[in-house]
Amino acid sequence: RILNLPLDRKLVVYVGSLFPEKGIKDILLVAEQIPQALFILVGGEPKYVKHWRKYAISRGIRNVKFTGFVNNSLVPLYLSAADALIMPYGRECARIMDIESTSPLKLFEYMAAKKPIISTKIPAIQRIIHHGVEGLLAEPENIEQLTEYVRIALEDLKLAKKLGEQAHEKVK
């Protein structure tokens, strides 16, 4: 209610920058396949918000909300409101981070939220999240697999709770 988000829809949340290498296109393509859920992208510079909003409109994707920059104090509220948290990385992400050794701070924030995490199977993530244990990991740029894992996280509430709890326990 504080964030003025719908209470009657499943919420898939992404928090972070909206650089193309961050898998934003992948999130939008997943949103296109799951119109009953609302995908909320929190953060991003105005030029990237504008770019991705235009992309979503061009494809008729209407179940996406871009917040743009929000105060850091609101991030935990968005994470808490989510039914699932998403953070895909495309093959291009190697241009902005070392996929072998970087540990994205966002991952630890997601884990602390006790929500199911859907991410990409890259070495930096796989060292922390094990598929089916603390989250669900799709092959990079495999939209069908990413979509299926989001669906599973939204529909299998027992599994979603287990993944969130195990991620939370690990991050402690």
The per-residue pLDDT string of the chain (172 residues; one tens digit each, 9 = 90 and over) reads 899 999 999 999 999 999 877 889 999 999 999 999 999 999 999 999 999 999 999 999 999 999 999 999 999 999 999 999 999 986 655 444 544 455 678 899 999 999 999 999 988 888 899 999 999 999 988 999 999 999 999 999 999 999 999 999 999 9
3-state SS, residue 58: helix
Write the CB contacts of 2 (distance below 8 Å, at least 6 apart in sequence): 77
Tokens of 172: 């402690």
Distance CA 98, CA 102 (A): 5
DSSP secondary structure letters along 69-115: S--GGGHHHHHHH-SEEEE---GGGGGTS-TTT---HHHHHHHHTT-
